[in-house]
Structure 1
Amino acid sequence: MQTRVVFNQKGGVGKSSITVNLAALSAQHGLKTLIIDLDPQANSSQYVLGEEAVITASQGVLEPNIENYFQDVLGVKEQKGLIGNALGSLLKTRSKGLESYIHHTRFKFLDVLPASPHLGALEHALESKHKIYKLRDAIQPLAAVYDRIYIDTPPAFNFYTLSALIAADRVLIPFDCDVFSRRALQTLLENILETQDDHNDRLEVEGIIVNQFQAQAKLPREVVAALKADQLPVFDAMLPPSIMMKESHQKNLPLVYLAPDHKLTQAYLALFQEIEKGRG
């Protein structure tokens, strides 16, 4: 099993789109694949589950989800029925593995552990009770079930992002070709290295995914050249801008299922193959 976290502290760089489309390609290639959505915006969850994961006036948060898992880790959900005491509640919830919170999607070999917009309310309690290794420990038994896990993260370096980095083998960094993204990259890499030193010595930066790359424009070419000059691991396959991505979101269909021959889909395929080929 290979676990990858898609991480950038800057928002709007395509984390969820990259997470879902690489996971979909993984599944399409016959690899049993799980998406874990740790972003309270739940974009990855909605992308693959559609209306089922959308909160409306008549429909609440989809459950079970990753919030429920962390609630059970804390023992804050009281069990109703015959087991009413706190000890019984803790024993019952601790016996549940992460697989109890996972949803199947309509796509073969692709599952998702959905996010919740209420994750922020649990963060302080999780930090204060030192639950930072719980996600890693819960993921390890899934090696018997899944070949690949992709973790989508919030645009911040917080408890959930750190949990993902501790649980992962590799980091994929989405990157928009602008000056602000390049300036933020140094801080991001420092946070990854600190996590590697303090919590997860097997963690590797697998590569930087250049998104919204306009090959004909001068600035994007210069930014990419600067990254390579700094000897940063930039993937050769770069993702061009396309209205097709918005259509993919709207129809809740990853690109490989919506438009397999489209140039953006083919760019994702090249990226996926480059990632898989680079595995040690």
Structure 2
Amino acid sequence: MTESNLKKTWLALSAEAIEVDILTQFILPALLPSWNFEGNEFCIEYPTGKGGDKVDIAVRKNTSTDNFAQSKSNPFLIIELKKRMLDISTGSKDYQKAVVQLKRYLDTSATNCKTVRWAILTNGNYIQLFRRHGRVVYPYTENILLTPDNIDEKIALIKKYIDQPEKCLSVALYNNKGGVGKTTTTINLAGILSLPAPYGFNKKVLVVDFDPNQKDLSDLLDFKAPPLKLSEFFLDYKNYKIEDVISSYRLKASNNHEYGFDIIPADEEFLRIGNRINSITIGTLRNCLSSLRKVYDYILIDSPPGSGFFNQEAIAASDVVLMPSKHNGIASFKNAALAIRSIFPTIGEKRRSHNSELGNPFPLPIFFNGEQISSAGKQQAQKAIFQIIKQVKTEEKIDITPFFFPKYTNAQKNLEIFELPSYAHIASASFSHRPAVFNNKKAREYYSDLVREYFI
């Protein structure tokens, strides 16, 4: 069999190649052409717009009126290179530093990179694709080890992802503990994201209630049941239409314009077909929702507490996981740490039986949900979290600091954790069968702050 130009070029790359060698001997002559980018569709040492930061290469297809190499505007993809002998295997110290660097290039303050949708980290041995959706940057694929047997396949797979960008970010609301406000957060996030400007963010949102035991979300809102139960679709999704599982939750404004979001309601029938569920591989819900990833801006999945099938499926269906917490819940902090270092990677491995090379569900930083916190209480929580971080770093050589203290650096030891304040109208809104953000200005302000902190 004739070897591809990509494979031959990669095989010729020295084991001691430094960044410039990888750029000139592999990226430019082979990798970018294999992704159908031409010679005037990239910029080397591209300034990100954040201080003196420059990413190794930025890429965008030309248009009929705009040559990217000349305009250097609106990049679509950036690539950060590391020397080949640097260990950037997942979990290594150099890998963690490289990811922090890549995310800095994609921060909202990096003004020249605001349009970037994808980012690549590679040293010629490993390659990983990162996706950007609003403020969220997360590993879209595993950190793939390239070999002579897989290089053509893996590079083609990344091309497929880059060529077919999805509209949607899928978010699981998760905490192993109950009573932390997952359902309230889900409903009001959906509400504020879907509200038209200037009240909200004018996004198309789908909410999935995947807690058949409690059905809190489905019971809190007033909508017409869809023609098909989720359990029926779930067990035979290739022979049904996903649209038949979706309900519309809409209200009319005074100008007669409708606003709201869509819902896949909880289905108690799941509880009666447990024996059939046991044979289902984790990742099925993601497959069920896959056709909707080009339809919605956000899919929000309300997951049950615990660690059972429904919890795992909700997480496996998500790109990122948002974890509401209580400042006085040390068990919740420990669970978050366990989820970050063990639960999410395990679920990611399971769902790769459906979606090969897909990255693990990615945890967003925790936030304190719905309680007034005194200075003493905040300091106590910070101390407890620091002990957990220290233990994980000592025992497993993993730094989980960014998932608790996202603004913490060695230079600025910022221990800030986002707080969603307690407010009576948020809790009482359930009696009106509406999200609090639809009725109350203060609730809209709180949840707008949450959206801006994490998503937009």
Q: Considering the TM-score relative to the shorter chain, is it more than 0.5?
A: yes
Q: Give the superposition deviation at 1:228.
A: 6.3
Check the 8 A contact 2:281/2:350 in 1, yes or no: no
Q: What is the alpha-carbon distance in structure 1 between the residues aligned to residue 365 and residue 334 of structure 2?
A: 17
State the distance in 2 between where 1:228 and 1:66 align.
42
Question: 436, 441, 444: which one pairs with 1:255?
Answer: 436
Q: How many angstroms does 1:232 deviate by?
A: 4.3
Cα-Cα RMSD:
2.4
The 3 A distance-change label for structure 1 pair 198 and 119 is closer
TM-superposed CA distance for 1:115, in Å, is 0.1
The 1:173/1:276 distance shift into structure 2, 3 A limit, reads same
Q: What residue is the counterpart of 1:64 in the other structure?
A: 228
Bigger Rg, structure 1 or 2: 2
Count of aligned positions:
245
Give 1:115's aligned residue: 266
Q: Which residue of 1 aligns with 2:451?
A: 272
1:49 partnered with 2:49: no
Q: Which has the higher contact order (CA 8 A, sep 6+)?
A: 1
Q: Indicate conservation of the 8 Å contact 2:176/2:332, yes or no.
A: no
- Match of residue 321 from structure 2: 171
Render the CA deviation track for 1:156-198: whole Å, top value 9, x for unaligned.
2111222222221100011112233223333333212322344
Candidates 309, 313, 328, aligned match of 1:159 = 309
Look up the match of 2:248: 104
State the TM-score, normalizing by the size of structure 1: 0.78
**Separation (CA, whole Å) in 2 of partners of 1:217 and 1:45:** 37
Which 4+ stretches in 1 moved above 6 angstroms?
Answer: none
Unaligned runs of 5+ in 1: 54-61, 74-92
Which amino acid in the other structure matches residue 209 of structure 2? Answer: D
CA distance in 2, matches of 1:63, 1:97: 11
The answer to whether 1:222 aligns with 2:380 is: yes
Greater shift, 179-188 or 156-165, is seen at: 179-188
The structure 2 residue matched to 1:210, chosen from 360, 368, 371, is 368
Equivalent runs, 1:120-199 vs 2, <5 Å: 120-128=271-279, 130-178=280-328, 179-189=330-340, 190-199=342-351
Cα deviation, 1:118-154, whole Å, max 9, x if unaligned, reads 42232331222x3433211121111232111000011
> Per the alignment, do residues 228 and 149 of structure 1 end up closer, same or farther by CA in structure 2, a change over 3 Å counting?
farther
2:451 partner letter: F
Structure 1 residues 257 and 222: CA distance shift in structure 2, 3 A: same
Q: Is the 8 A contact 2:220 2:430 kept in 1?
A: yes
* Contact 2:282-2:350 within 8 A present in 1 as well: no
When residues 252 and 159 of structure 1 are mapped into structure 2, their CA distance, relative to the original with a 3 A threshold, is: same
Separation in structure 1 between the aligned mates of residue 331 and residue 361 of structure 2, nearest angstrom: 26
1:30 and 2:180 correspond: no
Mark the runs of 5 or more structure 2 residues left unpaired by the alignment. 1-167, 196-200, 252-258, 352-357, 390-400, 407-416
Q: Confirm or deny: 8 A CA contact 1:238 1:267 kept in the other structure.
A: no
**What amino acid maps onto 1:175 in structure 2?**
S
TM-score by length of 2: 0.50
